[in-house]
Structure 1
Amino acid sequence: MLILLTVALVISAAYLLVLRRQLLRMAKRLENRENSRVPSNLDINLMDRTLNRLATAINGCLEQERQVRIEALRAEQLQKDTIAGISHDFRTPLTSVIGYLQLCKPGAENQAYIGTALRRASDLNQLVEQFYELSLLDNGEHECRLERVNLANLLSEYILENADLLEERQLVPVLSGFETPVYAHVDPGFVQRIMQNLMTNCAKHAAGDVCFTLEASEQPILRISNRVKAAQKVDVHRMFERFYTGDGAREGSGIGLAVVKALVEQMGGQATALLDRENLEIRLTFQSA
């Protein structure tokens, strides 16, 4: 009798051990499915009928989740393609409108209206360009070509050549740290696009002179700081979100800074924002070279 009891205990212990191993394997499969490109189903050839039934039910839920993910990715891609298509279709007629407005002779009877129309068309054209660029970044079609560049030269040349963007709003660009070379691995075209968006953003929202400071630390850092209007309404944690515009009365669409962040990150850098009372600082970190 004792021997039979012992044998029964040994068989039960072995059964429980195998059952535990199968449960652990199921748990690991579920834990690792997020890291797997093609998540696999759970085994249903288990030694326990109840476990087989549980595994079958879980596999059914996993399959439903996969289908939901596939549909979500398909819808997201469709949205990106739609934005890219609309942006592309807008570009040609807008360019034509701006061209014809520019050809209108000065001194015409409705010159003031033509000037307003030209400014509005230019603003719309810039918005379409930002949409288009963002769609290219989302789709991975904006190729990044990194090269060793002297940031001090590249940035100072661009800022000085486009200082009129700020001077039109009675703002003065103040440069610091550009006297000595600061090298980084960047895409020069990306950097110019970043600076265009940042200077346009400063021209619209700065309430004082704009300071550009370049630091040569472990990683090159560019700081753009200025006083802002209605600082209490600015949320620095959302500044790089698409379509974020602080209070609803601000100029612009909120796309420009989203493009800045995407371009900086594609070059392996980082974009952050800080607010100290009324002073806003946008900080761009680049890869050192």
Structure 2
Amino acid sequence: MHLAIAILLALAAVSLLIAYLLQRHSIIQVRRQLADADASSVQHLHLKLPLPGCEMERLVVAVNGQLEQRRKEQILHRSRERAVKEEIANLSHDLRTPLTSMQGYAHLLNDPAAPAAERQEYLEIILLKLAVMNNIVESFYELSSMDSGDYPLDRRPLYLYSLLTEVILAFHTDLIRKNIEVQLNLEESVRMIPLDEKAMIRIFSNVLQNVLRYGKSRLAISLFTEADKVKIVFANDTDHIRREDLPRLFERTYTSDPSRSSGQLGLGLAIVKQLVEKQGGGIGTALDGGEFQLVLTFGEY
């Protein structure tokens, strides 16, 4: 009897020892896999459990979740890093272009033999280039303020018909000078909705500046209600925007002008998108038969 008990106890001890050794082996294997994850750039590494065990399985699942989260953060970080590098390169290019031009005209302006009329022309060109540089810097500052959340909005019931009409009127002379024919389809009965007036003026102004930059000969602006949504559609013909440009039009520093000869960054529509979305609206684009459409949508609040 005592011998049987001793044998059972010995077998139990051996079983516990084997279980301990197996668990220890699993832990060692998992630890090695973690070390490999830290030492390598493997993006899809998941830990594998050599031997089953309830608690160990839970631990491995939790660690795999952390590894997956780290992988996603690394991808996002690299994507942002590439975007920042591209922004810096584009910003440097677009600041350097007018700056180089200004330096050249400044040397010509400094020539005492230059006629007064030419000196005045050089000065006007320098002032124009300064305005371009100032617009770039201000736009970047505005986007930076939006990213940091330091861009408060004062949303109050706004009658879009009146505001849109006023902004269009302010651009009337520029549109005539560019020989762009304007057609207005604005419904006066569109209800008032809570929006920030200054933000909406900025949105409309940026869109019209984009039309002046890339438009060709006509512009149609519509304001109406559809499915209980307030919609504003800007449609203009253009030779500068291609179908492949559409997915990137709202990216910072993107411009559909490959030569960037206009000296302008693609910041205008990036600002429009952020301001629309900050007010709960939506924005979309389309290109059909050489006509570019920008659609702003605001719903119920």
TM-score by length of 2: 0.62
1:53 corresponds to 2:56: yes
Q: Partners in 1 of 2:76 and 2:247 — Cα distance?
A: 27
Q: CA RMSD in A?
A: 3.4
Deviates more, 1:52-61 or 1:127-136: 52-61
Tell me which residue corresponds to 1:276.
Answer: 288
Unaligned runs of 5+ in 1: 1-47
- SS of 2:292's equivalent in the other structure is strand
Tell me which residue corresponds to 2:205.
Answer: 196
Q: 2:269 aligns with which of 257, 265, 273?
A: 257
Q: Partners in 2 of 1:114 and 1:191 — Cα distance?
A: 34
Tell me which residue corresponds to 2:158.
Answer: 149
Tell me which residue corresponds to 1:121.
Answer: 130
1:175 corresponds to 2:184: yes
Q: How far did residue 195 of structure 1 move?
A: 1.1
* 8 Å CA contact retained: 1:269, 1:287: yes
Which aligned pairs between 1:26-41 and structure 2 lie closer than 5 A?
none
Q: Deviations over 1:192-239 (max 9, x none)?
A: 110111111111000112221111331111111110114545532332
1:229 corresponds to 2:239: yes
Q: Partners in 2 of 1:220 and 1:58 — Cα distance?
A: 48
1:245 corresponds to 2:255: yes
- SS of 1:195's equivalent in the other structure is helix
Q: Partners in 2 of 1:233 and 1:49 — Cα distance?
A: 54
Q: Deviations over 1:155-196 (max 9, x none)?
A: 101110232332332224332225445422211111011011
Unaligned runs of 5+ in 2: 1-50, 110-115
Q: How far did residue 57 of structure 1 move?
A: 3.4
Q: Give, as a single letter, the amino acid of the residue that structure 1 aligns with 2:55.
A: N
Tell me which residue corresponds to 1:208.
Answer: 217
Tell me which residue corresponds to 2:297.
Answer: 285
* 8 Å CA contact retained: 2:159, 2:193: yes
Aligned length: 222
Q: Give, as a single letter, the amino acid of the residue that structure 1 aligns with 2:59.
A: T
Q: How far did residue 273 of structure 1 move?
A: 0.7
Q: How far did residue 280 of structure 1 move?
A: 0.7
* 8 Å CA contact retained: 2:240, 2:256: no
Q: How far did residue 62 of structure 1 move?
A: 4.2
- SS of 2:53's equivalent in the other structure is helix
Q: Partners in 2 of 1:67 and 1:232 — Cα distance?
A: 37
* 8 Å CA contact retained: 2:281, 2:298: yes
Structure number with larger C-alpha Rg:
2
